Structures are given as C-alpha cells and as structure tokens.
Amino acid sequence: MPGSARVEYFACREDVEVMLAKGYSVQMVYEQMQEQGRVTCSYSAFCDYVRGGGKRLHSRRKGKQKAPLSTPARTDGPKIINQSQGSFPDPRSMNMKDGI
C-alpha cells in the first residue's frame, strides 16, 4: 500500500532514534525493526525517512524548486597550453627510444 512506509516509520520513530543514539547503525536498526514486524518497507525507503526526518526526497512539494545552476561562460575554443613542441609525432615514423 503506497504511503505505508511513512506510517510504519512514524510508528517506531522513537525506538529508531533511541537505537541510533546508542550507536546502532541504520542497517542494524532496520533489520531489528523488520524482524519484529514493525516495518515492511524497503531499506532504501527506511534510510530516506531516517535521514530526512520522516520525509523522502521525492515527496517535496513541487512549488519549491531549486535555483537553476548557472552555466559556465562560453569560450571561443580550446586553449593551447604549449605550442613550442610542434605537432604530434607520427608513431609510424618515430624512433622507439624517443617514445619511451
């Protein structure tokens, strides 16, 4: 049933927070809650609720959009770093000792 993961998390939230404060990892807490039958959601969903304080990333309101990333300024072309070496040598005609 959609939305049941959140309900399950809130039902055992206090116990989860106590176990985390005692030093248990999120995975250990999840396994314990699953063995007790208190959660049936995926580990991924459980982690989202633990880290997000009861909210998953995809459940944010659509009205609150992030600011668009600024695009880097355009350049006229690639920068040539070192022109003094000349052109790239042809591997068919170069000496093997020069390539090593």
The more confidently predicted of residues 59 and 97 is 97
Within a 10 A sphere around the Cβ of 39, how many other Cβ atoms? 25
20/25 Cα distance (integer angstroms): 6
- For residues 63 and 22, the answer to whether their CB atoms sit within 8 Å is no
Using one digit for the tens of pLDDT, what is the confidence trace for 64-94? 666 667 776 776 776 666 656 667 767 788 7
